[in-house]
Amino acid sequence: MSSPARATSSRRTRPTLAHAGVRRVERRGDDGVTLVELLIGITILGVIMATLSAAVILILKAQKPIQARIAEAKDIAFLQTYLPVDLSSAISSDTTPTLQPIAGRTLPGTNVATLTRTDGTSGTYQVAYRYETTGTEWVLARYEIRGSSVQRIVVAHELAAPPIGWTPTQPPTHALSLVVRNQRVQQPVGSDLSVLFKSGASFSTGGAGLAKGDQLPTDYSGGIADPGQRADGYGFAWFWTFLGALGVVFGAIGVWLLRTQNDDAGVP
């Protein structure tokens, strides 16, 4: 027969963490990342690096053509500033390639057109456009000749280089050509100078030659094809669309990973 003290002690409950006010926390296996999460992270990082590399390559490839178009646009601005006025104000022109307009002085390059203009009074002066080389590039230089005074300015820098076998005594038709307007009528109306750039783009501008008493054009539609306006916006639009699509994909993957992690942690 058991004693009362032993019976009392047998009815006692052992103290637990709950009685002591201590909450038991179960440890979860979230001390690190799983192999699947590591592989997903590496895959996302590889996609991002590949996208950035493609973007850098695309920018580097597009940089040179853009710079060429900017240079051509500057040339077009200079050509539009001088050529139409010179051709419209000319009373005579000479396109002989070997022409030297200044006696006792040799100008470099090949003569494209030497124009005689009036100076607003009774006198005249000459403007010579010459195809010449400056360093490693071929340019169109404008010489304004007033007696013994000669002023030179380059109006086009991005001209096409001459082909093999070309000599300065030949017309530079590979880069420049002066074409008379309205050749079907007896009285032509001015001239147009066609310019071929080394990028393959072309540009044409001219003047009506009204100083020679020419008539206004009757069947010349005009129009100037500016190669600087041929934008490559479609390529940039597709590029940014591609980047936007990648951003949406990465965002969806991030949301999926966040939900997966919350499910593993038991967070609703």
DSSP-based three-state secondary structure for 177:
strand
Using one digit for the tens of pLDDT, what is the confidence trace for 13-30? 555 545 555 555 555 555
Residue 73 has pLDDT above 90, yes or no: no
Model confidence at 37, pLDDT cuts 50, 70, 90, reads confident
Residue 185 has pLDDT above 70, yes or no: no
Residue found by looking up tokens 């009373």 in the block = 91
Cα separation, 235 vs 228, in Å, equals 16
The strand ranges marked E within 197-237 are 202-207
Name the least confident of 64-78, 116-130, 184-198.
Answer: 184-198
Phi and psi, residue 48, nearest 5° = -65, -45
DSSP-based three-state secondary structure for 25:
coil
Predicted confidence at residue 138, as pLDDT, reads 92
The answer, as to whether pTM is greater than 0.75, is no
Using one digit for the tens of pLDDT, what is the confidence trace for 207-257? 765 555 544 444 444 443 344 344 455 555 666 677 777 777 777 777 777
Using one digit for the tens of pLDDT, what is the confidence trace for 228-237? 344 455 555 6
Residue 148 has pLDDT above 60, yes or no: yes
Closest by CA position to 243, among listed 48, 42, 41, 40 = 48
Q: What integer is the mean pLDDT of 147-170?
A: 89
Residue 111 has pLDDT above 90, yes or no: yes
Q: How far is CA 249 from CA 243, 261, 263, in A?
A: 10, 18, 21
- CA angle centred on 114, ends 200 and 118, rounded to 5°: 125
